[in-house]
Structure 1
Amino acid sequence: MASEMKVEVNYKETIKPSSSTPPHLKTTQLSVFDQLSPDVFIPILLFYPNNINSGVVDSIDHPSLVVERSKLLKTSLSEALTHFYPFAGEFQYNFSISCNDHGSAFIEAQVNCPILKILERPDAEILRQLLPTGIGSTQAETGYLLLIQATFFECGGLAIGVSSSHIITDACTLSTFIQSWAAIALASNSVTTDHVLLTPKLGVAVSLFPQLDFLNSPQPALKFDEEKCITKRFVFEASKVAALKSKAVSTSVPNPTRVESVSALIWKCATTVSRSNLGVVRPSEWSPVANLRKILVQQPLAENLMGNLVGMFSVKTEAIEVVDIDIPSLVAKLRKGVEEFKVKYGNGVSGEEACGFFREFGNLMKRDVDNYNCSSWCRFPFYEANFGWGKPLWVCQSTGMKNLIVFMDTRDGKGIEASLTFSEEDMAKFECNKELLAYASVNPTVM
């Protein structure tokens, strides 16, 4: 299918904020968390079918539809950038964003197939073509901190690909931006006035989490593992998640969450895959990314901060445990890890402690253990992004780093889509793991 599908770029332009950024906001200082974030891009894709009765699709003036929707996206993006002015700025390594209204990139593209062809059996290689830049790109290479690609399908469907620099965004910030952008577009295309525009807290994080001077010097670039890896989508429907949660119940955790239950299952299957490949039992570590906005209970200002505000902790199993490990015991470990993290950092995080999160991440790569990194994007309202032609049919992210697991909600908000990236050898075993397949479907149709 990848060879049959052809994405053609119609044009690329720079979208500037609709109003100039005031002089007192011309510089946004980075917090220590922004300083520590790698110079890569966070990608998200939102798919919108044409929502037009199939009987009249052929009579649609497709060129006019493309012009109309593209214009709305650009106009609303321009207004959104006045509220998220650092997104239109330039990176001043590694201490600030010059909010000089440089602008964000907007790419309009078209593809020679209907949107359902993509959604029938999503392919990671094809999805990457719908993004404006690769995850491993840098701000210096692209010339922007935010890039948008609007790809129009021959049926009138649309995919919006957003690539935002990790220097200024984590998943929470990206979600807030997309919500606000969509709300502006919907308000301008609607007679109602009940659309709520979120007010981002920009430039505030540095007062709570001051910079560290030594981070202003060039840091090593993030290196992606050169081993050939494969990213696959495993979908846990609502009923399967409910069954898995029931299986995960224990005396210590009578109420396991969706993410805890799915994490435990994938972790257990990963230990089985490792043992099968190596012929020996190795200790393993599960390293979740934590949204500190939900942890810092003594710092209410942190709740709606924009930028980066994430930490990481590791939960471990020793080799002797791995042989007979079960899902309830893994869930108990995960819950204990979360609670200990909350106790340790609920009152605040110092710059040195923030460095420790990322230093620990680097050390995990060097130890003689199996390490699995997990980021949950669940509960972020990506599926609420209505630009004026309905809510997205499907939302996905496309990050690929070895042994990385990313969770997204299914469209109903009750299931989980897990994106797994592993070596080819490991992935072959995941795809036929009976315990995993009892709860998850491998890349089912979105429809």
Structure 2
Amino acid sequence: MVRPMAATPSHSLWISNLDLLMEPNYHTRFLYIYRSSEASNLFDSTVLKAALSRALVEFYPVAGRLKKDDSGRVEINCNGEGVLFVEAECDGAIDDIGSNFIPRPELTLIPAVDYFQEISTLPLLLLQMTGFKCGGVCLGIANSHYVSDGLSANHFINTWADLARGLEVAVPPFIDRTLLRGRHPPHPQFDHIEYHPFPTMKISDETSIFSIFKLTRDQVNALKANCYDHVHGNRHILIFDIDSCN
């Protein structure tokens, strides 16, 4: 477990209704895969963990845990308990994964999360650095959407990388989310689904099927061009917009 290298504020961080639309027992997962490099210290775990510890001082809610307040509303307990950092080795090569990579249980590149545990025990960020025999490295990340969305997670990863290179924090995070707090007393005009109880999870014995659709640059540009036919103004279309439309 990697903790902030210095003392950080200890308090409960209010979470906006937009964040509460996600389930607390859920982490967004993504992979960074790098081939072998001539740089001997490209993925020095000592350097990475030291930089991570520094980054957690600025992004201190990432090192916290979820909890519920007296009314049952989920919030972030900024207690500095840290993030999970796992080092692993694989006796295969990155090329063994193949171009049509499909996630499968026997190739565990991201730390597993036991969602049967209380949310107060689950790290908000889990990292795994896997070294391959070819010299390549995979960085697997499981990130709680309660602490950061895609853009914020990318901000954290880039800051971590900058610190590992010896740079300083370029853009500090904005922690306070109360700008999104509703009026008091509230005046709801529509049904707030974020306050509905989550449906019971249906467990199936059927084998899950994983599929990955690989798009070329030309295909992505064609999809963007098609989106512009339905967008008014000068809005710039991102790949996230295309995914949302689908």
Moved more, 248-257 or 103-112: 248-257
Q: Deviations over 1:74-110 (max 9, x none)?
A: 1111111111111111211234222111111111110
TM-score, normalising length: structure 2? 0.76
**Residue equivalent to 1:343:** none
Rounded Cα–Cα distance in structure 2 between residues aligned with 1:96 and 1:102: 15
Q: Does 1:84 align with 2:70?
A: no
In our comparison, the structure showing a higher alpha carbon Rg is: 1
Task: State the SS of the aligned residue for 1:147.
Answer: strand
Pairs within 5 Å for 1:78-157: 78-93=53-68, 94-125=73-104, 129-134=108-113, 137=115, 140=118, 143-157=122-136
Against the structure 1 CA distance between its residues 245 and 48, is the aligned structure 2 distance closer, same or farther, given a 3 Å change threshold? closer
Range with greater deviation from structure 2 (115-124 or 37-46): 115-124
User: What amino acid does structure 1 have at the position aligned with 2:30?
Assistant: I
Percent sequence identity over aligned pairs: 27
SS at match of 2:20: helix
Instruction: Quote the offset at 1:238 in angstroms.
Output: 1.7
Number of paired residues? 230
Match of 2:147 in 1: 168
What residue identity is the alignment partner of 1:46? Y
Indicate the residue corresponding to 1:201 in structure 2.
Answer: 174
SS of residue in 2 equivalent to 1:235: coil
Q: What is the match of residue 223 of structure 1?
A: 201
Q: Tell me the distance in 2 between the aligned counterparts of 1:74 and 1:249.
A: 42
Partner Cα separation in structure 1 for residue 66 and residue 227 of structure 2: 47
1:382-421 aligned within 5 A? none
C-alpha separation in 1, matches of 2:104 and 2:213: 16
CA deviation vs aligned residue, 1:295-321 (integer Å, no higher than 9, x gap): xxxxxxxxxxxxxxxxxxxxxxxxxxx
* Secondary structure in 2 matching 1:15: coil
Unaligned runs of 5+ in 2: 187-191
Aligned-residue offset at 1:144: 1.3
- The answer to whether the 8 Å contact 1:41/1:137 transfers is no
Give the whole-Å Cα distance in 1 for the aligned partners of 2:80 and 2:16.
Answer: 21
Write out per-residue CA displacement over residues 140-174 of structure 1, whole angstroms, 9 at most, x where no aligned residue: 37631111111111122111111112222221221
Q: Rate the CA distance shift 1:168–1:260 in 2: closer, same or farther, 3 A.
A: closer
Q: State the TM-score, normalizing by the size of structure 1.
A: 0.44
Alpha carbons 1:184, 1:197 under 8 Å: kept: no
* In 1: Cα distance, 2:61 partner to 2:95 partner: 36
In structure 1, the residue matched to 2:189 is none
Question: Is the 1:35–1:215 Cα contact (8 Å) retained in structure 2?
Answer: no
CA distance 1:253–1:90, shift in 2 (3 Å): closer
SS of equivalent residue, structure 2 residue 211:
strand
Distance 1:216 1:242 in 2: 35
User: Counterpart of 1:37?
Assistant: 22
Q: Which amino acid in 2 is paired with 1:88?
A: A
> Structure 2 vs 1, CA of residues 160 and 251 (structure 1 numbering), >3 Å: closer, same or farther?
closer
| Of 35, 48, 59, the match for 1:49 | 35
Conservation of the 8 A alpha-carbon contact between 2:102 and 2:210: no
Match of 2:7 in 1: 20
Deviations 1:381-433 (A, max 9, x none): xxxxxxxxxxxxxxxxxxxxxxxxxxxxxxxxxxxxxxxxxxxxxxxxxxxxx
Quote how far apart the aligned CAs of 1:230 are: 2.1
Q: CA deviation at 1:221?
A: 6.2
Structure with the higher strand share, 1 or 2: 1
Secondary structure (helix, strand or coil) at the match of 1:27 reads: strand
Secondary structure of 2:209 counterpart: strand
RMSD: 3.7
Number of the residue aligned with 1:182? 161
Query: Structure 1: which 5+ runs fail to align?
Result: 1-13, 54-59, 188-192, 264-287, 289-333, 335-373, 375-447
State the distance in 2 between where 1:160 and 1:131 align.
Answer: 8
The separation in 1 between residues aligned to 2:38 and 2:231, in whole angstroms, is 47
Note the C-alpha offset of 1:111: 0.5
Label 1:252 to 1:157 Cα distance change in 2 as closer, same or farther (>3 A): closer
Aligned match of 1:238: 217
